[in-house]
Each structure stands twice: as structure tokens, then as C-alpha cells.
Structure 1
Amino acid sequence: MSKKLFFVLSIFLVASFVMSACGSATPTPATAATINVCMVTDSGGIGDKSFNDLTWSGVERGIADFGVSGNYLQSTQPTDFAPNLTACKDSGAQLIVCVGFMMADDCKKAATENPEIYYAGVDMGGFELANFRGVSAKMEESSYLAGYLAAGMSTTGKVGWYVGIMGPAVQIFGDGYYYGVQKYNEVHGTTVAVIGYDANNPGNATATGSWIDADKGRTVGQSQMDEGVDIILPVNGGVGSATAAVMQEKGLGYIFGVDQDWTQTYPQYSAQILASLLKKVDVHIYDAIERLTTNTWEGGDFVLTLDNGGTALAYNSAITIPDDLKTEIEGLQAQIISGEIVIPAPKPIQ
């Protein structure tokens, strides 16, 4: 080795050491060929036909378009989160994806302790860490439209709502739905009631207590239908499809799909699916991978809205919805985007 080359390498190594010792605001960028993405699911897991699958589809698109590699670790209970995040780190992942608001504390802890690794979270944010990108979704916006639609389509004057486990990320679905129904009542002089959720008392919301137990979806759906409910919005991942099955068996009732277009993920229940509330978290994950491969990473949160297409109400074309009702909903959407309609802030869950 020449003295000149040795001198250059020495300078480089000293500079690298100094930079490492001083620390950095963000981890060191890697080339696409060396980037490994490791995703940790929540308890719903891959195959939930909801936000775990949708998040993984964002990773798969990143693999296809940018040449990164990727894998996932399945969680079956909250105690799996921390060990799975550690396993992702130990595998040499440059980007770790945390799925579900119940993982927020574990994900924030991991990102804080490992500033050299990038993290992207789904249903979590506000960490203010340079190596973390979160996502929030104004699901109250599309849920408001769903509530208005449900009130306009109900023949019994009762619409239902339930959740898996209550928390801020899912509360906004209930708020939007509730206020959308109230708006319909105000416009049309009706008294459509929401069973299972009251925005003034969110802590008393109907919850199954599980993201995976389909039997609970059947039980809650049946119970609400017994109360006279004919349209239900289940914010419960794949568990909600069990309510669609009950409706199919009875030959009555409509359900809303959540996160993905259920006419595609649950085509067997197409006759029961009135519309779907899209929550395009895959866009956020794809964006995080693109930023990593193009050295444009910035810490912060990606916000999904009606305005940027991150959330939307997708009608089922197989169901006849009156044109005048669709026109009213289009008007409401424009008013939400413009700020003319402001959905009240969530009340504390007590």
C-alpha cells in the first residue's frame, strides 16, 4: 500500500470515528441493495385483510420498485412486540416497521434506543425523533361521510358501530360516524340513532376486546341487529367480516368495510358491503422506503386526509345508492376539505 493511499485512508477513518463519537441527527443512509425492511405485525397478523396486510403491501411495493429486501415477524399478543422489534434489530434491518397503536410505546422505546436504525410506525406518531416517521389518518373525515350515508340508507332508523379495543386511533372512526349521522338528522329532520357509540361518552363504546376472534364479531353484530340496527361500521379488522356473514345468513343489513375495499378483500360478502372506508397506510410505508433509498428521509408524521386521497369513502357499485344522497355526500366532502365543516375534537376516553 502506498504512503499516499495509507494517509488518505487514515484521514477517512479518523473522520469517521469523530463523526460517530459526536453522534448524528439521523442514521447513516444505505444503498437500496443493502437495505433490509423488517415489519412487526400487531396481534391481527398477516392475513387480517386489514391494516397488517395493507402495511405489508407497502413493503412489497418497496421491494418491487426499489430493490430492497423485506420480511415480517408475526405478533400474537402485545408481549411479542418488544422481542420482535429486538429480533428485527438483531437481523440487521435498516428500516423497522411497527404496526398498530398498541405497539406505540415499544416502538418509541426501540427508536429512541437505536438512533442508527430507521423506524416507520402505523397508527402512531408525534415521537419527534429524527429516525422515526409515523402516520396519522383523519379517519373521522371519511367516517363522517359513512355516518351520513348510513343514516340515509337505514330503513330502521338505527345504525351500529363497534371496535376491537378502544383507543385514540380508532375513536376518531366513531366520532366521525356519530357526527355524520347527526348531520343527516339535522338536514333531513330525522332521528336516526347510533347504537354502540356516543361521541359524548367514548369510554362506553361497544368493544369486542379482540382483533382476531371472529366469534365476537358474530355475537356483537347479532346483538346490534336484534336491537333493530340494519347498518354497521365495525372498526375491528377482519373480525368485522363475521358480522357480514351474519347479515348474509339473515338476508338483510349492510356493513362498512374498513381500511381496504372489502368488495375486493371479502368478495363473498359483496351484497352486504355498502361502502368501505379506505385508510391507505401502504402509501406511508412506501414513502418511507422511497425516502430511505433516495436519501431524502426526514423525521415526522405522514397525514392521510380526504384532500390528499389518503382516506376515502369507496362505494360498492353493486349496491344502489340514490344519486341525490351521493350528491349530498360529495358536497359534505368538499366542505370538510375546505374547512367549512369542522368535526369536533375527540373527548377523553374514560
Structure 2
Amino acid sequence: MRTTKRFLPVLGIALTLGLIAGACGSDDDDSASSSASSSASSSAATATTTAAPATTAAPATTTAAPAADAAEGMCVGLVTDVGQVDDKSFNQSAWEGVQRAADEMGAAVDYIETTAAKDYATNIGLFAENGCDVIVTVGFALGEATAIAAAEYPDVDFIGVDQFQGAPVDGVAGLIFPEDQAGFLAGALAASMSKSGIIAEVLGTDLVPPVVAFGEGYVNGAKYVNPDIEVIKTYHPGGIDTAFTDPEWGATTARQALENGADVVFGAGGKTGNGALIEVAGEEGALCIGVDSDQWFTVPEAHPCLITSSMKMITDGVFDLIAQSAAGSMPSGNYGGAVGLAPFHDFDSMVSDDIKSMLATLKADLESGAMSACVWDADSNPACSGGETDFSAFDANGDGSITIGVAAAGPADDGAYYQAVVDAAILLSEQNGFNSPIVIDEIKPADAATELTNLADQGVDIIIVGASEIAEPLTDLTEDYPDIFWYCNCGAGFPEMPGLAQSLDDGAEVGFTAGYAAGLLLEESDSSTAAMIGCCDLNFEQEFKLSFEMGLKAVNAGNTLTYVPTGDFPYDFDNVPNASEAFNNVVADGAGVILPYLGGAHEALVQLSNESGVPVLSAGASDVCTREGDLTWDVAVRFDGGDYVAAIFPLIFSGAVQEGQTKVFKVGVDPEPGALICNPTGGQQQAMDDMYADVASGMYAGDFGAIKGQAYGGG
């Protein structure tokens, strides 16, 4: 934890090093000034007077703004590893995170651009000796110098961008990213868009592991889409001191690739990669992919070819860690940042919906661990060597094939939760060459034991139980049919048992996100009331209702929630007449948003909402924002049993999840659960992003615990 120091007034960005002491003074300001002046005159990394690069727009993904008083007088210094802060890529993204701390937190900030590796320690020391609280060192090559400095200056918090730690280093947060996943997505897109069957990548040095991860991930993603595609891969032949500042080499290498038939080029190497992008921009019909940040905003010369960028959310990660330092909660050890593809901008219409859907699925599978980019685990992961998954362990009846049975409490075509589970089982079977699933739907709780036994007796090898309302017999059935693999998305409160694999989400987390989204929609209306139309106030309904109301009030304390039960106890979510009557009543009373927390009656209320012009939320289904048809939703409230099936079964088949174990899907951590506004404004999306970050941080854990206690009778 940092020690607060006494500071003089905030300095301007990118001033000379001689002024560092004036802003980041230690407790002995005279001594600090002398030290900074002496170091600046002796170091080969002399003070820069280059104007700082303009801050560019980038997708916000994390972090709420910290309290201003926590950062008052804070000093943040940034040191590059021979790159430049105006490289329009890696270093600039880190510097923009520091600039954001200046803009939003009032921190005093400055940077040093290192010109030789021998000056790493000196440049870090300039900031440390002159009272900076946080020092951001940018690049893999600075890792050793950063660790040494952290031991020498224990009162300083260090952020090491791209600095993986084999063992946690006290005082250093190693901001790392799964570049292999980012590269994989870029390669999958490149292969999908290529017409020639040849793509290329122009890279920095292979002495830097993140560059290798980008490069090899790109190859693997391309070959995942098209095993026959040719990938021209070229690393810069120089060392770290030149590999990222050589745009001429980047341009020449890109030109050679174009002449060899490549029609999509990935440029990943600072200014070197930028040179490649700009070269490709002059080739009619060719496409290019940027790196690290959304380079649409930083390399406008590449607009004619720039379909997307393979992004590391460096700006957000740096700012988030600075904010944690200001709050006194700076972590040590590896700190994972997010990756993804930038918007397609002018090329959006060229990228088909099928490609977009494929990329979204790949991203979710990579993040969840359901699939690998096959860079770091290529030798140990059978899937990376082309080996097929061995399903023989799941062949319960020994007939050499696999059949999945699905048990659903509601209709298999309800357009909501149960249909999602059934559709996921069908897709899982098709993808793996299984037999067509056997589905029994609309199972009443009183008939669950009989129907599940009937399903087990039909020669199935895996049984997916759709929800907890028909799960009570599983205690006996998992013992009676031990050779069958049993899985249930049973939800909170259902006990673990040796013969059952489970998944669940946190209903309070999901409900809060739904209420928050509904609250944002209410801001656009004349109403302050949302209505939740459900079954019969079951305990999991209560959990969702209480957290939904909490989310509404987090947007505006004056918002209120009306809850109307419409079914017979227990588990009647299908009563269309009662639900329709409830809808008409709450709309007449002024409800401005509707949550039909229903099964078979859900779509009937969506239709009524569409006819009445009242915004409506889904209840479980994740695809409603893009679903084709006559019905439209305004918010996807995702606790999609189908998504959970798709995410967990690759883990089950690999042995990562076994019977007796439970996979918990967390809001803000896993890609599956939580609410999404289908067509958000910029302000709404930013508010949702900030809310998700708060949930993931544990900010509301105590509130959610209290809600569970109230709903389930434990408190």
C-alpha cells in the first residue's frame, strides 16, 4: 500500500524532467529537486519536450471513476521501454490511461521515453526519488527493472504493462492480457474476409512474448476458420530497441505480402505495424487489422483498409489500477486485462451477421476456457494437436454412440429459457456427432420422478435437467443410474451431490443488472415504475424481485417496482390469461417498463408490450436483441440455460468439470449472465459498463447476501 506524500501544484503533461520534483515532491522537497535534476543531466534518457498525443476515443469496458478525494495530490509517472508515447498503439494506450487519471482524478502526470535499455533503472528512479505514488512501466523488457525498483521503493505502487509474473512481486501489478485470444479473433476474421486464401501479418520482434501470442494466435484463428488458408508471418529481425519503431520496414514487408497475394494484413508492432497498415491502405480491395487500441482513431491514414483492430484494453487496465492505488487497494501479482475486436466502422456492412455471430461465440468460448487459442498450451492440449475428444467415458450403455436426454419443465418452444436449453442440446449433439437428443418437456413437478425415469430408460448417456422445479428426484436417480452423466442448471439453494454436475448463476447479480437497465429506460419515459409479472413469489423470484428493485433505485431512488403473481403455486409460469390481465392492469397504472418473468406466457406479454409501445425485458434468453421475427425486446436479461449448456459441456468433456462439481457463472466475470440493453445510447452503455465493473468488483456483495437471506429465509 502506498504512503501518502505531500505535493506541490499539479504539473502540466509532458513537461521536462526538471519539473517532476515540482509536482511529485517527497517529504523533503529540496532533496527531491536536487535528485531529479542530477539524474536528468546524467541519464541518456533525457527529458522529452514532445507534445503528448491527443486522447482518442476507445471502448470503455471497466472501472467506475474513483472518489476525487482519494486521489488528491497523487503523482503518476510513466516510463516506456524504448517506445514512444505517440506510437498510436501500445505505449499511447498506456499513456492515455495515465492521462485519464489526470482528467478524472486530478493526478499530476508525466512520462519518460527511454532511448536505451541501460537507462531503465535511472528513469524509474527519477519518478520514485521525486515522490510519485504510482509508476507505470510499459513493456515486457522493463519487467526486471520494475521488480528491482519495487523492492527499493516499497512505498511506490508499480504497474507493469505486459509484465507477466511467475510469482507475485510485492508492490507490482503485472497488467497482462490474453493476446493469443485477441490474435485468434483477428485471424478468424481475416480468414473469413479473405478472397485470395492468403493473409499476412507484420510483427514486432519475437523476443517479446505478447507479440508471439498475437502472431501465433492469428495463425491459429485463421486456420480454425479455414484449415487451408496460407498465412505469411514475418517478425522484425531487429532487437527490442528497433523492432517497434521501424515503419519503413513495416511498409516494405506489407508490400511484399501484398505482392505475394495476401489480401488481409495484420500489423502488430507499434510504429512498425502502423507502417504496414498505411501501406495496405494504398492497395485497392485489401484489408488491414490494427492492434492494441482501436486504431481507427489513431491511424486515420489506414481508414481505406482498417476493418478492425485486435485490442488490448490497456487504457482501461492502467486507469483501473491507478484508481485502486488511490483507494489504497493496489494488488500485487498478475492482473488480467480484457481483449476484443474493435468496431468495424466503415466496413460494418461488409461483415456478415454469420461472421459477427461466429466471432461473438469464439470470444465467449475463449474467455470461458471452452476452447483454446492453442499458443501456450499447444503441446499439452489434445484439441490443439488436432486430436478428437474421446467421448467413450460418456457412453453409458456401451453402444458406441452418445445420446443426450433433455428434461424441461416448460414448453420446448417457449421462445425463452426452456427452448434455449433444448436448442443448445441439439446444437451440442450436431457439433459432436451425437444422436439427436430425446426431449421430454412440460414436466410437472409431481411427475418429475416418473418422467426422468422414463428418459433414463430410453438408452440416453447424458441427461440435462432444465431447472430446479423438476430436480428433486435427482438425489435418488443419480444413484439408480450411475452410468448416466447427470447435469442440472438447478440454481441457488440446490444441494451438491456426488452424481450431479451443476451450473448456476447469482440471481441477485442478474436481477440487479436487469433493474439497472430498466431504470435507465425509465429515464427516457414519463414513468418511474417498472412491473415484474411472475408466477407466485417463489424464493428465487423473491431474490430476483428484490435485486431488480435495488437496480431500479440505483439509477433513481424514486423508482418503484410493482410485482404481480399470475400462476398457481408452484412453478406455473405459463398462465397466459392471468398474465395478460396483469399486464393490462400495470400498464393502466402507469408502468413504464415490463419484465415478464415467465415461461410459456412470456412471449404473449412481449407481444402486448410491442403493441402498447411499452419497453419489455426478456427472462433468460440471451439472443433476443438479434432474434428475427415479429417480436422485439428492449433488454436481454440473460440467465440463459442454453448458454450455460454451451459453456459448461466443453469443460465437462475435457474433465475440467465433473459430477459432484458446480460451475458458477458470475456477472462481469463470465460472458453469459446479466442484462444488456439492445439499442443503448452512448450514455446508457457507459452506465451499464460502469455498473458491471462495480458488480464484478464485489461492491454490492453484502447487499446481495442480504437479499438472498431474505429470499431464502436465512436472514
- Using the TM superposition, give the Cα deviation of residue 242 of structure 1 relative to its aligned residue in structure 2, in angstroms: 1.7
Cα pair distance change 1:249/1:271, threshold 3 Å: closer
1:44, 1:347 → 2: CA distance? 30
> 1 or 2, which has the higher helix percentage?
1
Residue 257 in 1 paired to residue 286 in 2?
Answer: no
- Contact 2:137 / 2:158 at 8 angstroms: preserved in 1? yes
Equivalent residue of 1:265, what SS?
coil
Structure of larger gyration radius: 2
Q: Give the number of equivalent residue pairs.
A: 306
2:332 partner amino acid: G
- Using the TM superposition, give the Cα deviation of residue 90 of structure 1 relative to its aligned residue in structure 2, in angstroms: 2.1
Aligned residue for 2:369? Answer: 339
- Using the TM superposition, give the Cα deviation of residue 80 of structure 1 relative to its aligned residue in structure 2, in angstroms: 2.9
Aligned residue for 1:181? Answer: 222
- Contact 2:204 / 2:273 at 8 angstroms: preserved in 1? no
Aligned residue for 1:292? Answer: 325
- Contact 2:281 / 2:287 at 8 angstroms: preserved in 1? no
Aligned residue for 1:317? Answer: 345
Aligned residue for 2:173? Answer: 133
- Using the TM superposition, give the Cα deviation of residue 294 of structure 1 relative to its aligned residue in structure 2, in angstroms: 1.4
- Using the TM superposition, give the Cα deviation of residue 347 of structure 1 relative to its aligned residue in structure 2, in angstroms: 7.4
1:211 partner amino acid: F
Aligned residue for 1:107? Answer: 146
What is the TM-score when the length of structure 2 is the normalising length?
0.41
1:142 corresponds to which of 182, 186, 190 = 182
Q: Report the more deviating stretch, 326-335 or 148-157.
A: 326-335
Which ranges of structure 2 fall in alignment gaps of 5 or more residues? 6-69, 379-715
- Contact 1:171 / 1:346 at 8 angstroms: preserved in 2? no
Please, what is the CA RMSD of the aligned residues?
1.9
- Using the TM superposition, give the Cα deviation of residue 153 of structure 1 relative to its aligned residue in structure 2, in angstroms: 1.0
- Using the TM superposition, give the Cα deviation of residue 139 of structure 1 relative to its aligned residue in structure 2, in angstroms: 1.6
Cα pair distance change 1:208/1:229, threshold 3 Å: farther
- Using the TM superposition, give the Cα deviation of residue 334 of structure 1 relative to its aligned residue in structure 2, in angstroms: 2.5
Deviating above 4 A after TM superposition, structure 1's stretches of 4 or more consecutive aligned residues are none
- Contact 2:244 / 2:273 at 8 angstroms: preserved in 1? no
Residue 28 in 1 paired to residue 3 in 2?
Answer: yes
Aligned residue for 2:335? Answer: 302
1:136, 1:148 → 2: CA distance? 22
1:336, 1:98 → 2: CA distance? 28
1:214, 1:140 → 2: CA distance? 24
- Using the TM superposition, give the Cα deviation of residue 217 of structure 1 relative to its aligned residue in structure 2, in angstroms: 0.9
Aligned residue for 1:195? Answer: 232
2:144, 2:205 → 1: CA distance? 16
Q: Report the more deviating stretch, 284-293 or 270-279.
A: 284-293
1:317 partner amino acid: H
- Using the TM superposition, give the Cα deviation of residue 184 of structure 1 relative to its aligned residue in structure 2, in angstroms: 0.7
Equivalent residue of 2:318, what SS?
helix
Deviation string, structure 1 residues 210-235 (Cα, Å, up to 9, x no partner)? 21121111111112222221111121
Residue 234 in 1 paired to residue 267 in 2?
Answer: yes
2:320, 2:254 → 1: CA distance? 36
Equivalent residue of 1:182, what SS?
helix
1:207 corresponds to which of 236, 239, 251 = 236
Equivalent residue of 1:318, what SS?
helix
Equivalent residue of 2:341, what SS?
strand
Equivalent residue of 2:226, what SS?
helix
Aligned residue for 1:12? Answer: none
1:342, 1:34 → 2: CA distance? 44
2:235 partner amino acid: T
Deviation string, structure 1 residues 139-197 (Cα, Å, up to 9, x no partner)? 211211111111111111111123212121211112211111111125xxxx111111x
1:228, 1:314 → 2: CA distance? 25
What fraction of aligned residue pairs are identical, expressed as a percent? 27
Bigger RCO of structures 1 and 2 (CA < 8 A, at least 6 apart): 1
Residue 78 in 1 paired to residue 108 in 2?
Answer: no
Deviation string, structure 1 residues 31-88 (Cα, Å, up to 9, x no partner)? 6333211110222211101121111111111122222211111112322322211211
1:255 partner amino acid: C
- Contact 1:162 / 1:208 at 8 angstroms: preserved in 2? no
Equivalent residue of 2:290, what SS?
strand
- Using the TM superposition, give the Cα deviation of residue 345 of structure 1 relative to its aligned residue in structure 2, in angstroms: 4.0
Aligned residue for 2:205? Answer: 165
1:157 partner amino acid: G
- Using the TM superposition, give the Cα deviation of residue 27 of structure 1 relative to its aligned residue in structure 2, in angstroms: 4.0
Residue 218 in 1 paired to residue 248 in 2?
Answer: no
Cα pair distance change 1:248/1:234, threshold 3 Å: closer
Which ranges of structure 1 fall in alignment gaps of 5 or more residues? 1-25, 197-204, 305-309
1:29, 1:298 → 2: CA distance? 17
Equivalent residue of 1:257, what SS?
strand
Residue 280 in 1 paired to residue 320 in 2?
Answer: no
- Contact 1:42 / 1:52 at 8 angstroms: preserved in 2? no
- Contact 1:45 / 1:76 at 8 angstroms: preserved in 2? no
1:61 partner amino acid: R
Q: Report the more deviating stretch, 339-348 or 214-223.
A: 339-348
2:182, 2:331 → 1: CA distance? 28
- Using the TM superposition, give the Cα deviation of residue 96 of structure 1 relative to its aligned residue in structure 2, in angstroms: 1.0
- Using the TM superposition, give the Cα deviation of residue 246 of structure 1 relative to its aligned residue in structure 2, in angstroms: 2.0
2:98, 2:368 → 1: CA distance? 33
2:273, 2:257 → 1: CA distance? 13
Residue 41 in 1 paired to residue 57 in 2?
Answer: no
Aligned residue for 2:107? Answer: 68
